[in-house]
Structure 1
Amino acid sequence: MENYSLEEKDGFIVVGFGTELKSHYTDFAGLNKEKSDFWQAVSEDGRLDTLKAIAANDYVFAVNEAVNNKMMHYAGVMTEASAPEEARVIQFPKGKYLVVKGEGKTTDELNNRLAGVAFGQVLPEVKDFAYVGAPNTAVEMGQRNGFVYGEMWIPVVSK
């Protein structure tokens, strides 16, 4: 199993622009295409640059959250600044987080790999903690040796 750990994190806020995902939650190819198309759009139309301009650090967050029974996906940044119009303020709780580290050739590959390891390998196999559905995020932290690297942060509770 790839590198994962449990970490205690303070609560934090991510401000992001989002889209509703229409694919069934088990349709990984459909979800990945929707997410990829969304990231291309926010990169090209300037929304991602707007967020980066108010960011507290260089991290870019790909957030998944259920809102009013809809599966939402956001491009966001950690910030204390006011949210731009049409952006959502996403509150992450203080507590234990499953942290999965990884890298990919592209941001899409990184995010898909992190989610696959976290939800496809780690969470089904662990016995002492569980994910209860709060927002989760893949965090792009930078580049090294031609690869994008980052972490998946998933809030968990002890079983």
Structure 2
Amino acid sequence: MNPFKLETKMAFRVIGFKTTLLEGTHVHSPQFSGQKTTFFKELIAGGQMASLRPYADSGYGYAAVAEEDGQIYYYAGVQSDQPLPEHAVEVHFPAGEYLILSGSGGLSRLAFDKLEDQAFGSLLTAEFEYKYSGAPIAEVLLNGDPMDAEVEVWVPVRKRNAG
């Protein structure tokens, strides 16, 4: 099992580009993996990701999975406090508790999938003190190398007895 911790985070936002994920039933559906990879590769090839660098608060790459109005969306971009560029969209992450899972080595998409499988398959069970809150999930590429990735997945959680 990969390392994990609970951490309180301040609210933040990711700016970038958005696509609709299809054929899944919840934010963590295995059908989404290939769609996420295709979308990200298209953004790299088209130069859209490079266009966000001047707006980034850090060197990390961010992605988000969010459910909005019954639809699942995937965002790819950067964390930023700067004004929203005309060509981008934003997703907001609330302040609160996050389950942080870390991994390294291999392709970033496989590492993210493994960590999300661990979060939703092994940790966020009825026995765990916390449950998924329903807010966006962050995928964070820490080292900028999607071929030999150092990654984290941030799953927003709340205590089970908190409602």
Fold shared, TM-score > 0.5 on shorter chain: yes
* Cα distance in structure 1, aligned partners of 2:85 and 2:36: 21
1:67: Cα distance to partner? 1.5
Quote the residue 1:74 is aligned against. 75
Quote the residue 1:37 is aligned against. 38
Deviations 1:12-45 (A, max 9, x none): 11112010001223751x3111111101101111
Unaligned runs of 5+ in 1: none
- Higher strand fraction (1 or 2): 1
- RMSD, aligned CA: 1.9
What TM-score, normalized by structure 1, do the two folds share?
Answer: 0.90
Change (3 A) 1:126 1:88: farther
Count of residue pairs the alignment pairs up: 157
What TM-score, normalized by structure 2, do the two folds share?
Answer: 0.88
Work out the percentage of aligned pairs sharing the same amino acid.
Answer: 29
Change (3 A) 1:34 1:6: same
* Cα distance in structure 2, aligned partners of 1:89 and 1:126: 34
Quote the residue 1:100 is aligned against. 101
Task: Assess if the C-alpha contact under 8 Å between 1:115 and 1:138 holds in 2.
Answer: no
1:1-159 matches, within 5 Å, as: 1-25=1-25, 28=30, 30-124=31-125, 126-142=127-143, 147-159=148-160
Deviations 1:101-133 (A, max 9, x none): 112312212222221222222212642111121
* Cα distance in structure 1, aligned partners of 2:102 and 2:22: 28
* Cα distance in structure 2, aligned partners of 1:138 and 1:125: 24
* Cα distance in structure 2, aligned partners of 1:148 and 1:80: 25
Moved more, 93-102 or 77-86: 77-86
